[in-house]
């Protein structure tokens, strides 16, 4: 892809993308996928932290190997950016620096890469926390624009980066966040007109909506982090309507079947398709 972009710039031409599953991958806006019969494994909001490997992440790796998905999507916020947040420290809490967080992200994603089938597409949508990596530099040191390593995607070369993913044209859209609030999943599909899969709210839920066009779903694929992890110290002792887990999206004849959820029920244990799986 980089070579194609380089040729386009040098010769002043536009080269067609013959692969129908990816359109304009360098524009960073929306990736197009075609999956007739297959599976997308969708996780979100990992907020990977140095020295922490959560139950949800281990289960994600386990099922990535077992289900052999056509695409693996990390739907935003693989990077937390605690030390480059606009929020001040809470008392004297210790926060990892950017290098330490980045090392954890690369290590966790490499574990997914190792078990992914060769034909599997690895895609990462940009989350608001991911953008912290570049936003701090762009605000304080704009002179470093273009320097190697100043974008998150350069550290994750195997993962296509985009704001959104469109599957089978108008069957499903995947993006980090859309509507907010307890009815977000419902509003996403109601107003979107197609099935919509988001993260951001850590809710791990599926809401169905039926109309004259048929049935579609609003999917929140939860969080791959521990809901009471140190990343979320800002929540204090407040209750949180969050759930650790992720989504399994199955397609038959190009149509999305009822989305399935993998839910963390205890340390080292997840539930999926009526069974408890130890990871």
Asked if residue 12 is part of any domain, the answer here is no
Contact 153, 161 (CB under 8 A): yes
Residue 255 has pLDDT above 50, yes or no: yes
Which pTM was predicted? 0.88
Measured CA to CA, the distance from residue 52 to residue 64 in angstroms comes to 20
pLDDT band at residue 217, thresholds of 50, 70 and 90?
very high
Residue with more model confidence, 22 or 91: 91
Asked if residue 3 is part of any domain, the answer here is no
Measured CA to CA, the distance from residue 118 to residue 68 in angstroms comes to 9
Angle at 173 between CA 167 and CA 177, to 5 degrees: 150
pLDDT of residue 19: 54
H helices within the chain, ranges in order?
2-11, 55-67, 98-115, 132-140, 184-192
Contact 174, 165 (CB under 8 A): yes
Residue 103 has pLDDT above 80, yes or no: yes
Strand 214-220 with 205-211, pairing:
antiparallel
Residue 155 has pLDDT above 90, yes or no: yes
Asked if residue 228 is part of any domain, the answer here is yes
Number of helical H runs and strand E runs in the chain: 5, 15
CATH code for the domain of 60: 3.60.21.10
CA 25 to mean position of chain CA atoms: 17
Report which of 128, 122, 186, 120 is spatially closest to residue 159, judged by C-alpha positions: 122
| Burial status of residue 52 (CB atoms within 10 A of its CB: 0-12, 13-18, 19 or more) | middle
Asked if residue 11 is part of any domain, the answer here is no
Measured CA to CA, the distance from residue 148 to residue 214 in angstroms comes to 48
The whole-number average pLDDT for the span 250-273 is 98
The whole-number average pLDDT for the span 185-197 is 97
Asked if residue 76 is part of any domain, the answer here is yes
Residue 120 CA: distances (Å) to CA of 87, 136, 158, 216: 37, 33, 11, 25
Q: What angle separates helix 98-115 from helix 55-67, to the nearest 10 degrees?
A: 30
Residue with more model confidence, 86 or 152: 152
Where in the sequence is the domain holding 94, given as residue range(s)? 27-278
Asked if residue 54 is part of any domain, the answer here is yes
Q: How much is the mean pLDDT over the chain?
A: 93
Residue 191 has pLDDT above 70, yes or no: yes
Question: Which residues, at least 6 apart from 62, have a Cβ–Cβ distance to it below 8 Å?
Answer: 277, 279
Contact 25, 5 (CB under 8 A): no
Total structural domains within the chain: 1
pLDDT of residue 6: 80
Asked if residue 8 is part of any domain, the answer here is no
Q: What is the DSSP code (8-state) at residue 197?
A: E
Measured CA to CA, the distance from residue 270 to residue 154 in angstroms comes to 33
Asked if residue 65 is part of any domain, the answer here is yes
Measured CA to CA, the distance from residue 197 to residue 158 in angstroms comes to 22
């Amino acid at each position: 892809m980089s070579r194609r972009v380089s040729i386009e710039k040098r010769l002043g031409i536009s080269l067609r993308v013959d692969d129908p599953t990816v359109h304009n991958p360098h524009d960073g806006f929306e990736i197009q996928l075609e999956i007739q019969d297959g599976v997308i494994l969708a996780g979100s909001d990992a907020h990977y932290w140095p020295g922490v490997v959560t139950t949800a992440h281990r289960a994600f790796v386990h099922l990535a190997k077992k289900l052999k998905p056509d695409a693996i999507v990390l739907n935003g916020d693989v990077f937390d950016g605690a030390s480059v947040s606009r929020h001040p420290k809470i008392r004297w809490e210790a926060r990892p620096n950017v290098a330490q967080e980045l090392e954890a992200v690369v290590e966790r994603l490499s574990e997914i890469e190792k078990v992914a089938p060769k034909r599997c597409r690895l895609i990462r949508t940009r989350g608001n926390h991911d953008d912290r990596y570049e936003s701090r530099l762009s605000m304080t040191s704009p002179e470093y624009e273009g320097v190697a390593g100043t974008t998150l995607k350069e550290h994750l070369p195997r993962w296509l980066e985009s704001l959104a993913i469109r599957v089978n044209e108008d069957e499903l859209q995947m993006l980090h966040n859309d509507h907010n609030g307890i009815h977000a999943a419902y509003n996403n599909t109601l107003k979107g007109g197609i099935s919509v899969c988001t993260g951001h709210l850590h809710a791990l839920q599926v809401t169905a909506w039926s109309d004259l066009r048929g049935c579609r779903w609003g999917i929140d694929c939860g969080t791959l982090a521990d809901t009471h992890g140190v990343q979320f110290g800002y929540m204090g002792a407040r209750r949180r309507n969050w759930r650790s887990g992720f989504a399994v999206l199955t397609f038959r004849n190009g149509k999305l079947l009822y989305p399935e959820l993998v839910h963390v029920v205890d340390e080292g244990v997840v539930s999926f398709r009526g069974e408890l799986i130890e990871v």
